[in-house]
Structure 1
């Protein structure tokens, strides 16, 4: 298949720049994966589409305020460092700007010297290994000095950075939010639980590779990025019980979907596991666990459009996206949602 098979035309003005006032007031396009039939709803209606036999699987990863703005030493030229992965002993793999000025040996200061750093190595792909120096707890320093690493298509400044976190976020480690979960409120989760729906949390730390465009003409030539994910004994058991009782496993977001599909056995049973996954899901993939998916609208020609096309069929997805454009849905991270069932 060609990457261009997953293109759709999106007017720029439909890319949501800010979150709407109430999380669950976003719109919800429901899509029947078998027939391609769609309906227009709102996210607060989600409990109507779930039954007591179902379980909901959410990603509880929390976004690091991983964007640091500082000055190069000496001289004070502005620079930006974006944390990608913790390599241990105060060393992080980072994206840096300006790259030409931040070669190994370069010194940087943040927050008037509260945090300093040295570039120690350039690694494959142009990223840098950066050694940080600070007093106290690094994550607390980061909470004070760091900014949210919003996707490149969002140009507006985020007023309340908790709006780029899910209300159930817990495990700090993502470079981007698992955005399908941004629509949930605590009240909505309580309504879903009161209906008898099982709720389980997995963890997948979202990397910036999620925004990396597919540049290859053939989708099979694309190298998928890797992300760390975990599924507990409790959640594995919940999924196994749900399937045994004839219920549906409803994944919230492509990250939850990739986690359960990464660690599922061939017969769809789950066991607790953790590790790095580079699972690449595109049409032709046989889902072992995921029966339904709650997801946002994704970038044209992205691996995420390929994933939802694998679940619902490329023609059904592209037709639904065309309908969403016609109806002026909001797209991408702060946009509206789909329920593929």
Structure 2
């Protein structure tokens, strides 16, 4: 299977640069797998498509302001550091620019010295392991000094950093937002609860590897990054009881999908309380799916994310849906419109 099979032409003006004023006012392309049909709706219409016996599974990970700008005290050179993953003992796996200025032993000062970093080593992906020194609480310092790590295709300045968080974000750790959840409002979630739809939560801390381009020609040769997940007992029970009574499991986003599929594979088709790291790679040919449907945004060409949705809905139907979305001028990527595959 060739990576080129997942390419498509996208007019640059369809890449959403800013979020809509109203989260749930985004458009929703409803993709019916059974009859291969497409419907054009708005996200707030999702209530009409979910049934009282269904369970919506959301990812409650919270994005940290992971982009830091600092200087090397010895030279005054400016550097940018992007936090990817905490590895303990105040050490982080990071991406840096410019890399040639940050050799092992290099020191970096952030702000007025509230935060200092020392480069310990290189990573296989060309990044750096950095150990930080500070007084106080790291997340509070980060909140003061850091910026939201918006994807590189977003050029506009984000005026309200909360718009790059879901309304149900709880646990800090993501380097990028689980963007399918950005469309939900407290009011919409309440309407779903009133209808009888249950909402289960899990945590998967999103790494920037999600957005890295696939650099091989053959899909099967791609190696996925790994991301940390957690699912507790109470939410695992909600999910399995839904399955047992014949309800549908609707995953919000590729992150919730990858978590559920990883756990189900681990436990022979069941979902149980679990935590760990997953590098599951879902592409056409993957079967069987634990989930019954998914809410997701429109993804980059040749990305692992478009491969995942193609595995769920079928490559021909997803190709049809993307062509329709482009023709109808849907907004793409992180701040764009959404798709409901069911």
Same-fold call, TM cutoff 0.5:
yes
Alpha-carbon distance, 1:326 to partner? 0.4
Unpaired segments ≥5 residues, structure 1 = none
The aligned counterpart of 2:270 is 269
Conserved 8 A contact 1:34-1:312: no
The aligned counterpart of 1:55 is 55
Conserved 8 A contact 2:20-2:26: yes
The aligned counterpart of 1:6 is 6
User: 1:48-75 CA distances to partner (integer Å, 9 max, x unpaired)?
Assistant: 1001110000000000100001111123
Alpha-carbon distance, 1:267 to partner? 5.4
Alpha-carbon distance, 1:114 to partner? 1.3
The aligned counterpart of 2:315 is 314
In the TM superposition, what are the counterparts of 1:62-211 in structure 2 within 5 Å?
A: 62-211=62-211
In the TM superposition, what are the counterparts of 1:215-230 in structure 2 within 5 Å?
A: 215-230=215-230
| Distance in 1 (alpha carbons) for counterparts of 2:34 and 2:6 | 19
| Distance in 2 (alpha carbons) for counterparts of 1:269 and 1:87 | 30
| Distance in 2 (alpha carbons) for counterparts of 1:254 and 1:287 | 16
Which shows bigger deviation, 160-169 or 1-10?
A: 1-10
The aligned counterpart of 1:297 is 298
Which shows bigger deviation, 31-40 or 60-69?
A: 31-40
Conserved 8 A contact 1:65-1:147: yes
Conserved 8 A contact 2:91-2:130: yes
Which shows bigger deviation, 121-130 or 144-153?
A: 121-130
SS of the equivalent of 2:287 reads: coil
Q: When the two structures are superposed, what TM-score results if normalisation uses the length of structure 1?
A: 0.98
Alpha-carbon distance, 1:287 to partner? 3.4
SS of the equivalent of 1:100 reads: helix
User: 1:26-46 CA distances to partner (integer Å, 9 max, x unpaired)?
Assistant: 000000122321000000111
Q: When the two structures are superposed, what TM-score results if normalisation uses the length of structure 2?
A: 0.98
SS of the equivalent of 1:202 reads: strand
SS of the equivalent of 1:56 reads: strand
| Distance in 2 (alpha carbons) for counterparts of 1:155 and 1:180 | 20
Conserved 8 A contact 2:289-2:312: no
| Distance in 2 (alpha carbons) for counterparts of 1:67 and 1:159 | 16
SS of the equivalent of 1:264 reads: helix
Conserved 8 A contact 1:239-1:270: yes
Question: How many residues align structurally?
Answer: 341
Unpaired segments ≥5 residues, structure 2 = none
| Distance in 1 (alpha carbons) for counterparts of 2:259 and 2:21 | 30
User: 1:245-277 CA distances to partner (integer Å, 9 max, x unpaired)?
Assistant: 111000000000000000015653211111000
| Distance in 1 (alpha carbons) for counterparts of 2:159 and 2:71 | 24
SS of the equivalent of 2:96 reads: strand
| Distance in 2 (alpha carbons) for counterparts of 1:288 and 1:18 | 33
